[in-house]
Chains A and B, each alone.
Chain A
Amino acid sequence: MDWNLIGIWIAAFLTLSIYSVLYQDNPFYRFAEHLFVGVSVGYGIVLSIYQGLIPFAWKPFEAAVTGESFIGFIKLIPICIGLLFFARLSPRHTWLIRYPIAILIGFGSGIAIPNVLRANIFEQTRGTIEPFADIYAGTLTGWGIFEAILMVVGVVCTLTYFFFSVEHRGPVKWLSKVGIAFLMIGFGSAFGNTVMGRVALLIQRVDFLLGDWLNIIS
């Protein structure tokens, strides 16, 4: 039995089942949609166990209890904290999952502060004002100077639009309006690129149907 061929036919059937929703909602689509959820979560569980729990929790635990690595005993503490996620199964003890969540949230918040500050505040501010050093050095053309000024105007006006601590009237209102114009260009760019992305996904599926399944194209 050619399992590869069977696989292609099943994949084609499921692909067309999902596209059938474009006509109207129907049992084929609902079947594929629910199967997709089940299979995806199942895959995620298996990978999380084999590529997450086993290397990070089971192996250190095994090494500790077999005496292979006594330092592994320290790892029993985070393993036990991680196991508290299972408290979700018992309504009376659900509050215990706050412990691992608090550690993960605290870690994430603490590590974010200095790194986000540098990557997204300092570096982005540097990028905005750095072209002015080139203007001062006389290395930018007239067009380059225009672009450097445009960038500062755009960043300041966009930030002004999001600055709600003062009432938007007078000069602030006009800065904010210019900010909206920049945002619209930003969103237009995002839309144009999103179209490209989504259409590429469709082309890939049609390529599969016409090529792998129907063998019409090479």
Chain B
Amino acid sequence: MKRQVPLALCFVFGIAMIFTRFSPHSVSQWIYEEVISWVLIIGPFALVLATVTLIQTHTTRIRRRTEHWQYSLVVFAGLTIMVVIGIRFGPQDSIFEWLYNNVQLPMDATMFSLLAFFIASAAYRAFRARTFEASLLLLTAVVVMMGNVPMGDFIWNTIMSWSPWADKVSEARQWILDNPNLSARRGIILGVSLGVISQSIRIILGIERSYLGGGD
């Protein structure tokens, strides 16, 4: 019951989805549509996992009085306010939207923008042309960075105003993305996809069982 049934369910649903992909029969299509409607229903319940894990993590921090445990209370305050208002009045309630627009949105946007500072700092400290490969990476990054902005072509066209070649930085950027970058990315896509397919076969056949977790 604890391991064999989940393995069987995984096998049946996996095989069903492969089978229906190759069979246009009406029964096959009915199975396909029914399976999709089932997973559409089951999927949202996974929300419980994320919520419980977050609550357990912060409850433990408060109970054990770990360093900065007081901030876990802030997590619960934010979560409770949003959930209470949102569930009571719905996601289109003006207070709920006000909280989203003035609390969540600015913090989310700002949090990720911090990386602009760290990338600049890292570029200065760590971006060194130590080897041929590192030089290649550095040179490509510089061309792409300057090709991405109008300043790149502006500088080129000013310095090279005597030459017949205009907008060469953005063109070089586009050529790099269209050719050597494309080849490298395609190699990665092919490699990763072969991995995905083999892993999927292992999961369906029950060889790969790590998703069942530990225990009996």
Contact = CB atoms under 8 A, between A and B. Distances in A.
A59 to B, nearest CB: 10
Contacts of A98: 2-3, 6, 212-213
27 contacts: A10-B102, A18-B114, A34-B74, A39-B107, A41-B82, A43-B104, A46-B82, A46-B91, A57-B45, A82-B42, A82-B43, A103-B38, A106-B12, A106-B203, A107-B14, A111-B17, A112-B197, A113-B200, A114-B21, A115-B21, A124-B190, A162-B191, A184-B133, A187-B137, A191-B137, A192-B145, A205-B106
A196 B147 CA distance: 11
Contact of B83 (A42, A127, A157, A195): A42
B103 A14 contact: yes
A183 interface: yes
Interface string A1-26: 00100111011101100110110000
Interface string B26-41: 0000000011011111
Contacts of A128: 186
A109 B82 CA distance: 35
Interface of A: 3, 6-8, 10-12, 14-15, 18-19, 21-22, 30-53, 56-57, 60, 74-75, 77-79, 81-86, 88-89, 95, 97-117, 120-121, 124-125, 127-128, 147, 150-151, 153-159, 161-162, 179-189, 191-196, 198-199, 201-202, 204-205, 208
Contact of A151 (B52, B173, B177, B183): B183
Given A15-B106, A128-B186, A198-B119, A188 B114 contact: no
6 nearest A-B pairs in the assembled complex, by CB-CB distance: A154-B183, A38-B78, A158-B187, A42-B82, A188-B140, A192-B144
A42 B190 contact: no
A182 B82 contact: no
Interface of B: 2-3, 5-7, 9-18, 21-22, 34-35, 37-52, 54, 68, 71-72, 74-83, 86-87, 90-91, 96, 98-117, 119, 123, 132-134, 136-145, 147-149, 173, 176-177, 179-194, 196-197, 199-201, 203-204, 211-213, 215-216
Among B39, B49, B216, chain A packs the most CB atoms within 10 A around the CB of B39
Contacts of A14: 103, 106-107, 110
A116 B193 contact: yes
Given A41-B79, A151-B183, A201-B112, A192 B42 contact: no
Contacts of B113: 198, 201-202, 204-205
A49 B85 CA distance: 13
B110 A205 contact: yes
Contacts of B14: 106-107, 109-110
B187 A195 contact: no
A102 B211 contact: yes
A176 to B, nearest CB: 11
Contacts of B182: 151, 154
A204 B110 CA distance: 9
A39 B86 contact: no
A147 B182 CA distance: 11
Among A108, A111, A161, chain B packs the most CB atoms within 10 A around the CB of A111
A11 B99 CA distance: 10
Contact of B187 (A19, A31, A159): A159
B193 to A, nearest CB: 4
B109 A39 contact: no
B42 A7 contact: no
B91 A109 contact: no
A79 B144 contact: no
Among B105, B106, B148, chain A packs the most CB atoms within 10 A around the CB of B106
B50 to A, nearest CB: 7
A57 B44 contact: yes
A32 B54 CA distance: 17
Contacts of A194: 119
Among A41, A86, A108, chain B packs the most CB atoms within 10 A around the CB of A41
A198 B43 CA distance: 32
